Structure formats: C-alpha cells, structure tokens
Amino acid sequence: MNLPARLKLFNTPLILVAGILVIALLTQLFGISLLTRIVTVMFISLILVLGLQLYMGNSGILNFAHIGFMGIGAYTSVLFSMTSKAKLLTNSDLYPFLVPLHLSFLPSLLIGGLMAAFLAAVTSYPLMRLSDAAAVITTFALLVIIHVVLLHGDRITNGPRTLFGVDFYTTLWTSTVFAVITIFAVYLFKESRIGLRLRASRDDRYAAASIGINMVLMRWLAFVVSAFIAGVGGGLWAHFITSFTPYSFYLTETFVILAMLVIGGPYSVSGAVVGTLVVTAAREVLRAIENYVNILNVFPEGFFGFTEVVLAIVLILILVYRPAGIMGGRELTWLRERPKTRESEAFKNSGKA
Amino acid sequence: MINLEFIVNMLSLGSLYAMLALGLVIVYGILRLVNFAYGELIMVGGYTMYLLAGFTPLPWFVIAIVAVLAAMFTSFFTELVAFRPVREKSLTAMLITSFAVSTLLQNGALLIISPRARAVTLPQLFQTSVMIADTSVPWRNILTIVTSVLTLALLSLLLRRTVLGIALRAAADNFTMTRMLGVPANTIISTAFAISGIMAGIVSIFFISRSASVTPTIGAPPLLVAFVATVIGGMSSLTGAVVGGFVYAIIISLLGVFLPPGLLEFREAFMFAIVIIILLFRPEGLIRSKNTGERVG
Amino acid sequence: MLELQEVHARYGTITALRGISIQVSRGELVALLGVNGAGKSTTLGCIAGVLRPWQGSITFEGVPLVGKSPEQIARLGVSLVPEGRDIFPSLTVEENLRLGSFIQKEKSAYKRNLDEAFDLFPVLKQRLQQAGGTLSGGEQQQLAIARALMSNPRLLMLDEPSLGLAPVLVDQIFELIARLHQRGVTILLVEQNVERSLEIVDRAYLMNTGLIESQGTAQQLRTQADIASVYMGIKQQDKK
C-alpha cells in the first residue's frame, strides 16, 4: 500500500485519537482535580466501550458478560500488583499461593487481561454455536455467575468486602495512552480480515459459510479479544479507584457501558467514542442534579437512581427514533463521506412490514 | 437427605420455576424477544404486596390478586410504550430496549421507594406447616404446587379451547401467517405480554414468601433462573419451558445436597457449568421443537 | 377487482419488482407465470401486505392496499396461500381451519365452510385432530387451501401450490383450482408449471426479472409462447 492509501486507512482513528489527546491536554491545563478524575474514568470507560464495540459491532450479538470480564481483570491484576503485605492486610484469608505473587504494574495489567481472555475462551466456545437469543441469554448468565464467584470467592477476592490498598497507577495520561492504543486496536480489528469475515457472516451467514468462513471461530476470536480489552480496562480501573467490591462489576455498569455504545452507535468505532463522551457528560450533569436534590433533603430516603432512569429513557428514545445511534454506523472522517454501512440500514429496517 | 420434605420442596421449586419460564417463553415464542424486564415484573409484584400489606387493611387474598394484576399491567404497559415502537426495527433493538426498561423499573423503584430492602408482612399461612406422613411440610410449598397446577391448567385451557389461545399458538409457529389470516398483531402481542405478567405476578407471591422482603434488585435472580430454564428446555416450546423449570429445580436441589459445604455458595456457578455442558451436546435445548431459532454451528 | 399499477418493490438493495401492472376481475382465474426469481412471490407479498412497495399503487375493489397491515388486508377479503404452505405445524388440522375462519363473524358460516372443506378435501376430515406438522406435503397443501377458503375470501392467491408435489397430486391440485374457479372464486395463481396453468386459467401474465414480459388470454399465450423459452427465461421472439 502506498503512503496516501495507508493514511486513508488510518483516517478515522487519527481523528478520534486527536480528539482524545485534545481533551487530555485541556484537562491537564485546567488542572481541576475533579475534571481530571472525570476524564480519567471516561477514558477507562472508553476502553471498555471499545472492547464491547469490537464484539457487538462486528458480530451483531449482544454481550452482557463484558463487565464481568472487567471484574476478572481487575481482581487478577491487583493480586499481582499488590505487595504481599498489602494483600494480607486487606484479605487475611487469602490463599497462600497467591500471597507472594508480585509484578510491576504493566505486567499485572497484562495478566489481568489474559486471565479474562482465558476465561472467556473457555466458557464461551460452546456458546458460540447457539442461536442468537440463547447466546445473549447465556452471556447474561455468565455475567451473573462471574458476579457470584467474585462475591463468594472470599479467599481470592475478599468476597463482598471491600478490597482496599491497591496502588494508584492510573493517571490521566496512563488512561489516555491506553485509550489511544485501544482505538487503534479496535479499528484495526474492524478493518482486518477477521473483522470483515465476521461482519460478512453476520450479514448473511449462509453466503459466508459457502465461501468458507467459519463463523463460530470468528465469533469466538472476537469474544476473546473483547474480553482481553475488558480485562485490561478492569485493571486500569482497579488501579485508579484503589478499592472496590464485586458490586462494581454488575448490572448498573453493564447498563452504562451498553448505553454509551448504543447511544453513540454500535456499528462504528467512532460511535463508541462519541457515545462515551456524550453519556459521560450527561451523567455528570444528572449526577450533579441528584446531589443537589439530596442536599436539599427533599426525599427522606435519598434521591438515587435518577441518573439511571433518565439514561434509560434516553436509550429507549434513541432506539425508537435513531436505532443506529448518533453515528449511525458511520465513522468520523475528513474524507468524502463514506457510504452508510449496510449494518445501520439493516439495524433500522430488519423487521418485516 | 433426600426425603419427602426434600421432594416436596423440589416439586414446589420446580413448579415455581416452570411458571417462571413459561412467562418468559410465551413472549419469546411469538416475538423472539428475550424480555430482560421480566424480572422486574416480579419486583413490581413484590412492592405491590409491600405497599398493600403494610399500609392497607386488605385481606391477603385480595393483595395477592392485586399484585398479580399490577405485574400484568406493568407488562402490558411496557409493551405498549417501549416495545411496540421498536418492534418493527430489529430484534437487537428490542433486546436492548428490554434491558433499558429493566434498568428503568429497577431504578424507578429505587427512586420512588427506597434502595433499602423493605419487609413484606406475609400471612400466617406462609409460616406454618402441616404434618404429612411424618414429615413437616410447609403450607407455602403446598400452595405453590397447587397454584401452579391450577395456573398451568387454566393456561392450557386458554391455549387449547379459545380462539385467542389458538391464535397465540399459531403466532408462535408463524407470526406473519397468523396476521395474514386477519389476526391483529397488536392483540396477540399484548395478550402474550399480559399472560407473561400474570405468570410473573403469581411467581412473585411465592418468591417473596421465601424471603419476606423486597428490594429493587430482587428481579435479577429469578430472571436468571427463567433464562437458564428456558435455554435448557428449548427456547420456544411451552412444554420445554415447563420441563426446563423442573430440570433446573432438580439440578439445583441436588447440588444443594451433594455439594460439599465449602462449595455450596457456588451452586449457581455449577448450575451454569452443567447448562453449558448440556448446550454443548444439545444447543437447541432438551425439547425438540420446530422453532428453536437458527442454530449456528 | 384487483389492480396493480407500476408497482416497484425492493428487498434491501435488491430490486425485485420494476414496475408491475396487473388486473384481475371478479370471477377470473389469472396466472402469474415465470421462472424462479421473476418476482411472482414478491408480487403476491405486496398485495398481501407482507412487503411494502416503494412505488406504485395496489387497489382492491377501489380500496388502496399499500401501507395497510396484513391483517387489515385479510379482513378486506384477500387471502394468500404462501409458497411452502405455511400451515401451523403445532396446531391440529381442525385448529388450522378454525383460525382460517377468524375473520368470519357468522357462527353458522364456520360449520358450513367446514363441511365444504371436507367435501373438497375428504382427507382433512380423516386427519382432523392430527398436528399439521405430521401431514404429508400434499395434505398440507390441501389444508393450506382449505384454511384460506374458510374465510370465504373474495380474492384467493395461491403461490406455487404444485411445488414439490408428486405428479398425481399436481393433477389433483390443478383440478381443484379449476373447480374452485367454476364455483366463482376469484383466483390469482402463481406458478412455474406453465403448461398446466395455461390449461385452466382465463388469462396470464408472464414475468421475468421483475417485469411483465407478456400477457394475454390462455389461448393467446399458448399459441404465442415458446414454452421452452419461458422455462429458460429467454426473452420471447416477436411473432408476426
């Protein structure tokens, strides 16, 4: 490929990355710690949304287990990154063989991702052959099971109690760098042969099968890579928040990540980015309102859940009026507008009359 | 450990899960929609019981009926407002919508009532037992079994003897053809959702009776049971749902007996592993049906 | 009675109909002929409301059909027996027929139509309580047609009723269609079996890749048509 063509290929990710970097720079310049926190978390969320986009956007199947793998990555990475002393301090019941394990931050992160990927690989292969509805159901079941295991695996995870004492490693720029890498990775996957084949088999599985595409294998690969990304994202998040419980990796987070992807548009990488930005902004506003009302003490039991209720309503509205999300299947590009992908059309009108 | 008490408990659980799975499948069979908001219908039933039992002098029988009606109306209403507009778009859109509705209802309860658990005052009957053949059998279990037998019988009657019921079964076979015979799509779908709500409502009565409390997230565990039971039984056969419910109850009860105490908490994880194994060999579920949805590999 | 004008229809990005105009008058037996992919089933689908044409008009007894739902169109008296029969496999024969008369409001009409159905298709009476899915192909076809007749349709549309049936059954089906025509039922027949169709129909349209290639009375088409070329889908030669 000659240089201009190569640049064209990277057109979209470069734009997205540029946007990310601008946000990071501005955040750094403003120097407000609250803003820095919000943006750091936003970039971590972005990584998770991108991971989900990689699977959902290309295979067309909902994956509810994604946040579960985030949790696995989180717990695994801290088991390696914390010192023995710190580990025993938070969980005196820890399995002895886990105590001496110690690696620096990046390898810990990597192992977290690999663990998530490994578990995804093992549990998901039988599920890839299921019909779409059964596949969705079983990913949901997988989420719940992971949650149950994390909740009861006291000797590893400290159970429902808070696991604290994690070192803080995820700075603004750490999350920025990882977000940038993920954008490229997900985009490259989309444009790679695997991505192409996966989308082909999603559009017409019989035609794809007839030219030798193994849909089950493609789906499985995407699922595993997606889980890896989720695991790394989990590790990043763990080393930002420095203390957490299994409840951080369950339904609410699943909903938020899903909302970010769907509102932004699940069929393009740009959709994932746009969705994350928009929803994060909206959530902060809503949360401010929630806090304000709580201060006013209007509701005796506290004013909770408002953010999620509004977000859910917005999500439903998007699905009714603009089902392919804000980006509608398109990628951001400086070039002449790419034609709308067939996915977005199909997504809109696949119901019969 | 496996005695009459255990068997009655298992049967009671099985009949509960059978109704649970039925409520899910009746919508899936026609629309191919996995309704994530189904669990929240149980939550609605629970909160109705909490509000009525705690703040009104109504007799429990009435409260139970109102709870069932509340679940039915919620189901009906969510279809009308959230699912109908998205129906024509795509299945994935409907699925995500159901998840959004689920979140909406859960957080709605959080917002309106409280994030904390609320105790539900249960009738005396649910706490007493009766002696049968030298074993103490809780009334609760007997009631569950009797209610579910009655419900299944009524449902069966509806589906086999009424035109509406025949139309519902036809719609599960071939929705488009049913419409081409002049059957209004909206009527069919609303009816299916209403029945789904009734099932959830009935289940909620007995489900809440086990824990005597209700929280916004109480719908998640039964939803999971419904999902797994449905997948085991084969996704779109009503018989399959019933079978799946009983199979789930049997397996989880046996796991409760045979798992060593340390692993007991991981019952669900083992259940899931077993389900995966079942699916490995029978991706279409245990009950063969014509319309199990396209198998992929 | 039925009129299509310049109907265009698409499946996604594939154009199926490129401007179809057809008329069917009351009591007529009209055929849509052509090879696979010509657009015959698509045409019926548009009329029945299953597919929405993006251009053109369809009227039935003066009532526009485009945009109406399938159930609304069925209530106007249009009945379609789809390709592949689409009987309800988990319902019994009786239940299939019962549903067929769903729009029939009169109670007495149900009994009457049922008896007529048994008259035309005695085998259905024998298999009344059997599940539809256990019937043979030919029996299912009879059930599908009987079910469609249960509503006393004003327009009966049949999509490839002889498809996949053994020759002796094919004879029976065509005989049946002719008999229904004699009774005065208006029928729009889609078929690949050109020869047999032309024996029983009043008029026919020859379709090819979404267009009407030629039309006329059965007589005209029989003398004009080069049957082989229709089967091959080759455009006809002009005859002097």
DSSP label at residue C106: -
> Which residue from B minimizes the CA distance to A204?
B296
Q: Closest partner residue to C88 among B170, B179, B182, by Cβ? A: B170
- Whether A190 has a pLDDT exceeding 50, the answer reads yes
State the Cα angle at B74 between B69 and B75, rounded to 5°. Answer: 100
Mean of the per-residue pLDDT values of chain A: 84
Q: Closest partner residue to A353 among C12, C13, C50, by Cβ? A: C50
Radius of gyration of chain B from Cα atoms?
19
Confidence band, pLDDT 50/70/90 cuts, at residue A351:
very low
Mean of the per-residue pLDDT values of chain B: 86
For residue B271, what are the contacts with CB-CB under 8 A and spacing of at least 6? Answer: B228, B248, B251, B252, B255
Task: Report yes or no: C103 at the A interface, CB cutoff 8 Å.
Answer: no
Range with the lowest mean pLDDT among A99-103, B77-81, B148-152, C64-68? A99-103
Q: ipTM value, please give it.
A: 0.86
Between the two ends of chain B, the Cα-to-Cα distance in Å is 42
* pLDDT digits 0-9 by tens, B89-111: 777 888 899 999 999 999 988 88
Give backbone dihedrals phi and psi of C206, rounded to 5 degrees, phi first: -100, 120
Give backbone dihedrals phi and psi of B17, rounded to 5 degrees, phi first: -70, -30
3-class DSSP state for residue C210? Answer: coil
* pLDDT score of B297: 39
Confidence band, pLDDT 50/70/90 cuts, at residue A226:
very high
Confidence band, pLDDT 50/70/90 cuts, at residue A292:
confident
What gap in Å lies between CA B67 and CA B240, rounded to an integer? 27
* pLDDT score of B220: 86
The whole-model pTM stands at: 0.86
Angstroms from A10 CA to nearest CA on chain B? 30
Confidence band, pLDDT 50/70/90 cuts, at residue B165:
very high
- The strand pair at C29-33 and C203-208 is best described as parallel
* pLDDT score of C224: 67
Encode chain A in three state secondary structure. Answer: CCHHHHHHHHHHHHHHHHHHHHHHHHHHHHCCHHHHHHHHHHHHHHHHHHHHHHHHHHHCCCCCCHHHHHHHHHHHHHHHHCCHHHHHHHCCCCCHHHCCCCCCHHHHHHHHHHHHHHHHHHHHHHHHHCCHHHHHHHHHHHHHHHHHHHHHCHHHHCCCCCECCCCCCCCHHHHHHHHHHHHHHHHHHHHCHHHHHHHHHHHCHHHHHHCCCCHHHHHHHHHHHHHHHHHHHHHHHHHHHCCECHHHHCHHHHHHHHHHHHHHCCCCHHHHHHHHHHHHHHHHHHHHHHHHHHHHCCCCCCCCCHHHHHHHHHHHHHHHHCCCCCCCCCCCCCCCCCCCCHHHHHHHHCCCC
* pLDDT digits 0-9 by tens, B239-254: 888 999 999 999 888 8
- The strand pair at C203-208 and C211-217 is best described as antiparallel
Chain B 162-181, residues with CB within 8 Å of chain C CB atoms: 163, 166-167, 169-170, 172-174, 176-181
Is B223 or A126 the better-scoring residue by pLDDT?
Answer: B223
Task: Report yes or no: B263 at the A interface, CB cutoff 8 Å.
Answer: no
Confidence band, pLDDT 50/70/90 cuts, at residue C230:
low
Angstroms from C70 CA to nearest CA on chain A? 8
Confidence band, pLDDT 50/70/90 cuts, at residue B1:
low
Is A283 or A5 the better-scoring residue by pLDDT?
Answer: A283
Angstroms from C42 CA to nearest CA on chain A? 13
- Whether B296 has a pLDDT exceeding 50, the answer reads no
As a whole number, mean pLDDT of residues B272-278 equals 76
Chain A positions touching B216 (Cβ under 8 A) are 305
- Whether B193 has a pLDDT exceeding 90, the answer reads yes
